[in-house]
Structure 1
Amino acid sequence: MQYDAAVIGGSFAGLSAAMQLARARRKVLVIDAGLPRNRFAKTSHGFLGQDGRAPQEIVDIGRSQLLAYPTAQIIHAEASAVAQSEQAFSIELSNGQKISAARLVLATGVKDELPQIAGLEDRWGATVLHCPYCHGYEVADRRIGVLGSGPGSIHQAALVADWGPVTLFTMGVVQPSPEDLALLAKRNVQIENAPIVELVGAAPEMEAVRLQDGRVLPLGALFLMPRTRFVSDLALRLGCSTEEGPMGPYLKVDERKQTSVANLFAAGDVAAPMPNATLAAAAGVLAGGAAHQSLIFG
């Protein structure tokens, strides 16, 4: 089946991109495997007009609004292979279907690689968190920890201190400089060098952390900066250039979300150094609009 554009990924960025194309009365297909990165979070915050809603509820509303346009379609499937010719992209789906699209928008997202600490994964998105702007208000005034993973953890610890008393767990990998120590002291951040080996309490809540030396420290939330990787390697197989961000690689795009591959656009976490729901939706708007205009102006 032939489409003007296909969008792979049906969360905030993908649906926003498809909306622009549908409103331009272009035939657009969203291919979505249904595994968004934010599925572990109970609610989404900091997203104007959507604050406090469940991420899936926001997606469901977006899908309903998109499908109100007669030229839009959504398929629940995984894009297993993509090839590009001079005229179009050929896409094979996990359900065996094959489609063709003149333009392609990738909104495939990234996956968090969590540290192997007992009890951590069970609390991911609830009391183990990555973004204080997304979740800090909800854990404010608890004892908060920051799990050291690199130089960015010092910045994170100083930042998170606006939400509660903070302890930076260096985990044997973070070595604060004298300037770092001065900043952390100014922000009243405590430093603990003994590594965390277990999170304690009835998940998804947290009561404390157990350290390698046997001590148990009270803690109500833990922030970290996980490494991320691409959920899908389709962009790499198509030859897209990447850049290295503070959390992992992301696709290189220009101001209109065009990748290094002609007629291929990307939006959302897969193409940004900093994940954020509002920024993902805005990037989708840019990518969808640019994809539409490229159909006209080349």
Structure 2
Amino acid sequence: MHLFNTTTPFFDIFLSLKRHYPLILQLVKREVISRYRGSLLGLLWSFLNPILMLAVYTFVFSVIFKVRLDQEAGVYYDDQFAFALLLFAGLIIFNLFSECLSRAPGLILANVNYVKKIIFPLEILPWVTLGATLFHAGISFLVLLAFLLMIDHPIYWTLVYLPIIIFPLLLLIMGLSWLLASIGVFVRDIGQFIGLLLTVLLFMSPIFYPASALPESVRDYLFLNPLTFIIEQARAVILYGQLPDWAGLAVYYMVALLVAWGGLIWFEKTRKGFADVL
């Protein structure tokens, strides 16, 4: 099977999103609401969770361990909140990536009833997961900005570049999600493997440290991790007021688009066998 010998056009990556947007939006709302259904505080938990986590990070790393960034590891090295901000910003990006990919192998298995319905567009299921995860990531970013205001940290105008930085990561997530959702139908163990891989990525990503804190000989290998560049760029525009690395972003966009296209092609080629396996 030649993967790119296909009738799936390149811009079909966005076709299902455009064509089924009302359905995707409805399913995203259901996904978000169902997460907190039955709880006393309901949707309020989506705000409380990041607030409590940021408070814990600030207390633990600023008061108990009193972690400081040295001058070469980043600006605001003398700020007692620097490490908590660095950690929280990195975790927002990682959680966005991690939640989508950890759920991807089970997407089709969890929606077997949709497989039997010929008219249901199965390719939108990763969009639904991404939409719900983006909702919570957006709230976490709002909490981060509110905290920056509270501690009188500058809010830089470079923040406007954040969507441009995040978008290629979303394309990468979609491509990998389509791929894993398909493989998960035929190879049930893939979910366990992805869980282990995400744990490794957690510690191999510059979440608990800035990439600049590592020796240059090691730093280049760290950027083989697809999360490293996005985490560093997001911190740059939010916390440091630096412009994005446009050349690096251009390369990332090209790779992410190819991954998204390849993932969709694989999904479309294998979906015909879903009903036979399930």
TM-score bracket for this pair, using the shorter chain length: under 0.3
Output the TM-score relative to the length of structure 2. 0.23
Q: 1 or 2, which has the higher helix percentage?
A: 2
Q: Which has the higher contact order (CA 8 A, sep 6+)?
A: 2
